[in-house]
Amino acid sequence: MLLYIELYIVVALVDQFLVIAAVDIRDLPLGHYIPMGFVDPEVGLLVLLYRPVMAVPTVALTVRRLHDVGKSGWWTVFRILPLLVIGWLYLIPFLCKPSRA
């Protein structure tokens, strides 16, 4: 997760200073349901491309971690609920448990 955040910061800085084009998330189809649109509605194109590309490995690692603690990988669905904050608050305790090795 630390690597994901570090790369996100790098991409956001490059996007902020080198790429002029910005997209308003709220103008996208179903953009009003994207949680990040409430925090930072205008993002650059690099950040907009970074998020879905990194979603696949992030979901895969979350599923693997849930399997380590003895839970089904389907609990990952809580990450993408429309109420993202509630989903994460429910999922974080599972991710912090020690492994059942």
Per DSSP, the chain holds a count of helices (H) and strands (E) of 4, 2
CA distance 48 to 65: 26
Full residue range of the structural domain in which residue 90 is found: 2-96
In a domain, 16, yes or no: yes
The predicted structure's pLDDT at residue 78: 76
CA distance 92 to 19: 34
- Summarize pLDDT for 9-43 with one digit per residue, the tens: 898 888 878 877 777 777 878 777 766 666 777 77
In a domain, 29, yes or no: yes
**What's the whole-model pTM score?**
0.64
CA distance 78 to 80: 6
What letter does residue 2 receive in the DSSP assignment?
H
Domain count, the chain: 1
- Summarize pLDDT for 55-81 with one digit per residue, the tens: 888 889 889 998 999 888 888 887 766
In a domain, 101, yes or no: no
Identity of residue 86: I
In a domain, 76, yes or no: yes
In a domain, 85, yes or no: yes
In a domain, 15, yes or no: yes
In a domain, 41, yes or no: yes
In a domain, 51, yes or no: yes
| Contact by Cβ (8 Å): 14, 46 | yes
